[in-house]
Amino acid sequence: MNDQRNFTTSILVDQTPLQAYVAITNVRGWWSEEIDGPTDIVGKAFDYRYRDVHRCRIEVTELVPGKRVAWRVLENFFSFTEDTTEWTGTDVVFDISRKDGKTEVRLTHVGLVPDYECFDICSDGWTTYVNGSLRALIATGTGRPNVGEPMNESERALAG
Sketch out the chain's domains with CATH numbers.
7-159 (3.30.530.20)
**pLDDT tens readout for residues 88-143:** 999 999 999 999 999 999 999 999 999 999 999 999 999 999 999 999 999 999 99
Distance CA 40, CA 33 (A): 15
Percent composition of the chain: helix, strand, coil (DSSP 3-state, to 5): 25, 35, 40
Total-model pTM: 0.93
Note the pLDDT of residue 160: 64
At 2, the pLDDT band (50, 70, 90 cuts) reads: very low
In the predicted structure, residue 4 carries a pLDDT above the cut 80: no
Provide the percentage of residues in the chain whose pLDDT is more than 90. 86
Contact 32, 48 (CB under 8 A): yes
Distance CA 21, CA 95 (A): 9
Across all residues in the chain, what is the average pLDDT?
Answer: 93
95 φ/ψ angles, rounded to the nearest 5 degrees: -100, 135
Nearest-CA neighbor of 105 among 73, 72, 69? 69
Beta carbons within 10 angstroms of residue 93's beta carbon: 19
